[in-house]
Every structure is written in structure tokens, then in C-alpha cells.
Structure 1
């Protein structure tokens, strides 16, 4: 795995600033071997539940790592 992780990523929930869907974003990070990712949407937190649920679906051991 790489030590590099993206710490400034906007999803489709950041209106006019992000396009990536959460599943696409998580799948790409996993395919690239990243150990983590930070969703930094602004103006709202609507994507957090979807992000949490999708990450746990893909890798249930991450539940204790999400902070």
C-alpha cells in the first residue's frame, strides 16, 4: 500500500466544486492501494452517512478506523 492519501476531496455533495460519487471515489482509492481518504465537502455533511456505509460495506474492518 502507498503512504499517500488524499486529504482534500470533494464529492457530488459539494455543489459546483465536486463531481465524484462516493462509491466511485472509494473504489478508486482502494484500487490505487490507498490506506485512507478524507472527504472534505463544504457547506454540508450530507455525504458522511453514505461514505461511512459504503466504506464499511467494502471493508468492515474500517469501522474502528473512521474518526
Structure 2
């Protein structure tokens, strides 16, 4: 069962790691955009780990499919130790 099909049209994923999150991402950008269109999501966000490598690919695919692209990045912040 495709759980995304049961989401309300106003739902938007705001945190998703794509194939460009080398450590834990496995969602392919094209497949994510297709799923957003099928679920009638008006927008979709990617938030890859410590990089924006997939931003151009994501932006182009989302815009061409009529989905508003939202870009973010998960970063690790570490304080300096004495």
C-alpha cells in the first residue's frame, strides 16, 4: 500500500535525504518528485546531509513537474574543545 497516496494534498515533506546523502539517503530525486505529483503535494523539500550536491537536479525536476522545490541541508555543528 502506498502510504503517500493517503496524505492530504496540503502535506509537504520538509525533511528528506536523497541519494546525495551518502551516509543514509536512498531516495532518488526523480522518484521523490513523481511521488509528490502522484500525491498532489504542492511542494517538496530535500535536506541532504552536509551537502547540496543534488540541488540543481532536484530543482529542475520539481519545477518541470509543477512542484515547488524547497532546499535545506542538515549540518553537524560541533563546539570547539579546549
Q: TM-score, normalised by structure 1?
A: 0.80
- Report 1 or 2 for greater relative contact order, CA contacts < 8 Å, sequence distance ≥ 6: 1
- If each structure's helix is expressed as a fraction of its own residues, which one has the higher value? 1
RMSD: 1.8
Q: TM-score, normalised by structure 2?
A: 0.67
Consecutive unaligned residues in structure 1, runs of 5 or more: none
Structure 1 or 2, whichever has the larger Rg, is 2
- If each structure's strand is expressed as a fraction of its own residues, which one has the higher value? 2
Aligned residues: 63
Regions of 4+ moved over 6 Å: none
Consecutive unaligned residues in structure 2, runs of 5 or more: 1-7, 71-82
